[in-house]
Amino acid sequence: MSTEKTEREAIFSPKNIKLLTGPLNMSNPITVQILGICSALAVTVKMKPAIVMALALMVVTAFSNLVISFLRNGIPPRIRIIVQLVVVATLVILVDQLLKAFVFDVSKQLSVYVGLIITNCIIMGRLEAFAMANKPWPAFLDGIGNGMGYGLILIIVAFFRELLGSGTLLGFQVIPQSLYNAGYVNNGMMILPPMALITIGVIIWVQRYYNRSLIEK
């Protein structure tokens, strides 16, 4: 271990790549760590808000991980949660203002959930579990990776909910009018939050089916 520390690690060493790709599947924040479920249910009715939410969360996790990792040796352990919250809250306010400035309508749709990123378990979880014990660059990558893992699930859920619930994708009509004329009706339950939970359940089911090692004993 001691020799490893002195060596300069490549920026995209296999270990660092794993920080990026791991959360997409084997350590996915939503389906494996079961964090951040609340916002995943709330913002996935349509794809556009889901994508914006995923980006917002990715920015916040990445940079809060980075900042906390820089400060990690200077933070007194007893007040670390408060320090973490200050950093996260600052970033969330920045993101919120940016969203309001550039994509106001989406910001309106996301409503309180942007502000609630502060309390998103993924962020606190990653800060506690990773950033407090790792160097800034891996911490930053870990933040990006977890943000992507969160975003991936959000986008999958939103894809099915928007397609089946509204017949659109990113606001464009996908299901042809002729199908509606033939008697097709949008599934009203897809718009309700319970269906988001069930969709996430199905994703977890499929994922566990292919990765048997994830099945809890």
Partner 1 sequence: MKALRKFLDKQKPHFQPGGKFEKLQSTFEGFESFLFVSNTVTHSGAHIRDAIDMKRTMIFVVIGVIPTLLFGMWNVGYQHFLSFGQHPDILTNFLYGLGKVLPIIIVSYGVGLGIEFLFAQIRHHEINEGYLVTGILIPLIVPPEIPLWELAIAVAFAVIFGKEVFGGTGMNVFNPALTARAFLFFAYPGNMSGEKVWIADKLDSFSGATPLGQALVGNFHNFPTPHEMFFGFIPGSVGETSTFLILIGALFLLITGIASWRIMLSVFAGGLVMGLLFNLWGANQYMELPAWEHMIMGGFAFGAVFMATDPVTSAQTAKGKYYYGFLIGMMAILIRVFNPAYPEGMMLAILLMNVFAPLIDHIVVKSNIKKRLKRAKLMLAE
| Cβ atoms 123, 64 nearer than 8 A | yes
| Given 190, 196, 200, 203, the residue binding partner 1 (CB under 8 A) | 190
| Cβ atoms 140, 66 nearer than 8 A | yes
Q: Please identify, using beta-carbon distances, which residue of 71 and 191 lies nearer to partner 1.
A: 191
Among 43, 78, 73, 11, residue whose Cα is nearest residue 151: 43
Part in contact with partner 1 (CB under 8 A); list of ranges 8-16, 29-37, 166-174, 187-195:
187-195
Among 150, 143, 151, 154, residue whose Cα is nearest residue 20: 143
Question: Rounded to the nearest whole angstrom, what is the least distance from the CB of residue 35 to partner 1 in the complex?
Answer: 22
Q: Which tokens in the block code for residue 12?
A: 């995209």
Rounded CA-CA distance 192/177 in Å is: 23
| Given 192, 207, 208, 214, the residue binding partner 1 (CB under 8 A) | 192
Task: Name the helix (H) or strand (E) containing 125.
Answer: helix 121-129
| Given 14, 74, 77, 183, the residue binding partner 1 (CB under 8 A) | 183
Total residues contacting partner 1 by CB under 8 A comes to 10
Residue 31 contacts by C-beta under 8 Å, 6 or more apart in sequence? 153, 200, 203, 204, 207
Bridge partners of 172, per DSSP, are 169
Subset of 43-102 contacting partner 1 (CB under 8 A):
none
185 binds partner 1 (CB under 8 A): yes
Site string for partner 1, 141-180 (x = CB under 8 A): ----------------------------------------
Q: Which tokens in the block code for residue 135?
A: 């160097």
| Given 16, 25, 90, 187, the residue binding partner 1 (CB under 8 A) | 187
| Given 17, 86, 198, 206, the residue binding partner 1 (CB under 8 A) | 198
- 188 by Cβ neighbours in 10 Å (0-12 / 13-18 / 19+) ranks as exposed
Q: Please identify, using beta-carbon distances, which residue of 174 and 198 lies nearer to partner 1.
A: 198
| Residues at the contact surface with partner 1, assessed by CB under 8 A | 183, 185, 187-190, 192, 198, 201, 205
